[in-house]
Every structure is written in structure tokens, then in C-alpha cells.
Amino acid sequence: MKILIVEDEIALLQSISNYLEKDGNVCETASSYTDALYKIDLYEYDLLVLDINLITGSGLDILQLLKKGKKETGTIIISANNSLDDKLKGLDLGADDYITKPFHLAELNSRIKAVLRRGKFGGTERIEFNEISIDTRAKTAYIAENAMALTRKEYDLLLFFITNKGRVLSKEIIAEHLWGDHSDMVDNYDFIYVHINNLRKKLTDAGAKYIKTAYGSGYKFIDE
């Protein structure tokens, strides 16, 4: 996939770009308003990751211009405001999704994948990983053509793992992905372990031993 990342914080820009490139995406970066406009005008992208709080200009203007040009580009807005107005404005203008700083790269990645799946650019609603396949429209996972009986959270978890395969996911990242604001509601992550262990058991029972423990308290979905 060809992705353009527009963000004026270079450090963040680099981190996002590196993370996405590891997944085999082609990432281009723009750190200013004019730079972004120039690149959007010149090239076609499958996806635009856009910080709307640019110092040099409003990201919303870029979004508007992009939509005017009738380009079939998926867009994800990054915002530092928790403001709902921005959210509504962004989505009104045709952004596909919205993420608030600070975010986990794994989270951004899974949102990007979701947007691309929905998009028209070679996105597929089926995700394959060895013998596992997920039908994202029906929200069903299959192992060797057999439908798995997963709870909603287990399904989300499996999707998150596969989307970020080969990455180390700490329980914090997982908690925040699955429960958003509620992830800080209790002191311990017992509830995370329960869900992960249930999913692990269901996969292992079908012979798919992909959820590995990393560093004692983290996880990695990997085929080794």
C-alpha cells in the first residue's frame, strides 16, 4: 500500500513511517502544509494519515482539497484535541477514521488496515493467515474452513493480533485497543488475561499456536 503521512512532528512522523514500512507499505512523508499539498497533487495514495493540527496550515483544508480532487484515498485524521467538533468535522468532510494523540502505533496500524479493507484500493474483506481466515464483514474467523466460536472481544482481539502480526503487544496496548477509555478502570489486567487465554485456548485446540508470550508480560502473534 502507498501511504502518505502528514505530521509536523518529525520524531512522530519517523516512528509512524518506520512502523508501517515494516508491514511492507510504501510510506511517504510530509512535514508541512505546502509539502502535503504538493504531494497530494502530484501522486496517488491509497491512504493519507493526516495531522489536522499542523502549524503551517489546517489539515482540514488538505482534506477538503483531497476530496475535491475526487481521489479515492482513504483518510485517517490524527488530532491532539479531544474535541468532538473536530471529530465530527473531520468525518463530515469524508475522513474515514479519527485517532487522538497519544495513540499506539499498533492501534493506528489496525485502523489503517480497517480503512484499507473498506476502501476500493485492493482492499479485501478477507484476511488470511496460514490456516486462519477472517471474514471482516461477517465478523467471523475460520480455522481450516471451520468457523470458530468466538466472543465479540475474542474476535476483536484475534483481528488486532493478526493485523499487528510479528509485533510485540503489551497488555496496555491490547487493553486500550479493546476497551478504549475503560482500560484504566481497574488496577490489574486480569480481564485482559482472561480474554487472551480464552482466545489462545481456542486457537491452540485447533492447532494454531500463534499467540506467543513476549518478555513475560507481553504478547506476539507469530508463526515460528
Partner 1 sequence: MNNKAKKIGLLRKTSKTFLSISLVLMLFSTIVLYFYVRTLLQGEIEEELRSTEARIESSISNNNPVYQLPPMVEVTTVPKIGKEHLKDTLIFDPSQNEMEDFRELITYSKINNQNYRITVRTLIVESEDILIAVIISYLIVLLSIFIFLFYFNKSRTQKLWNPFFKNLEQMKLFSLSSETPISLLESDILEFSELNTEITTLTEKVRSDYKNLKQFTENVSHELQTPLAIIQAKIDTLINGEGLNDLQFEQLSSIQNDIQRLKQLNKRLALLSKIENDQFQNLSACNLNGILEYRIENLSDLYAIDIRLKSENEVTLTMDAYLAEVLCDNLLSNAIKHSSPNTPITVILDKNSLTVINSGTKAVLKPELLFQRFYKESDHTKSTGLGLAIVKKICDLYGFHPSYYFQNNEHHFKIKLKNA
3-state secondary structure of 39: helix
Task: Based on the shown chain and the rule CB under 8 A, indicate whether residue 155 belongs to the binding site for partner 1.
Answer: no
| Residue of 111, 167, 200, 202 interacting with partner 1 (CB under 8 A) | 167
Answer for the pair 12, 53: CB distance below 8 angstroms, yes or no: no
Using rule CB under 8 A, residue 185 touches partner 1: yes
Residue 71 or 153 having the CB closest to partner 1: 153
Is residue 142 a contact point for partner 1 (CB under 8 A)?
no
CA pair distance 105, 20, nearest whole angstrom:
9
Contacting residue, 71, 89, 153, 212, with partner 1 by CB under 8 A: 153
Q: Which of residues 6-35 bind partner 1 (CB under 8 A)?
A: 9, 11-12, 15-16, 18-19, 22
CA 20/CA 121 separation, integer angstroms: 17
Q: Which stretch binds partner 1 (CB under 8 A): 64-72, 114-122, 130-138, 146-154?
A: 146-154
Residue 212 engages partner 1 in binding (rule: CB under 8 A):
no
Helix (H, G, I), strand (E, B) or coil at 75: strand
Measured between its terminal Cα atoms, the distance across the chain in Å is: 25
**136 within 8 A of 125, measured Cβ to Cβ:** yes
| CA 69/CA 46 separation, integer angstroms | 14
The contact set with partner 1 (CB under 8 A) reads: 9, 11-12, 15-16, 18-19, 22, 53, 78, 80-84, 100-106, 151-153, 167-168, 170-173, 176, 179, 181-187, 191, 194, 214-218
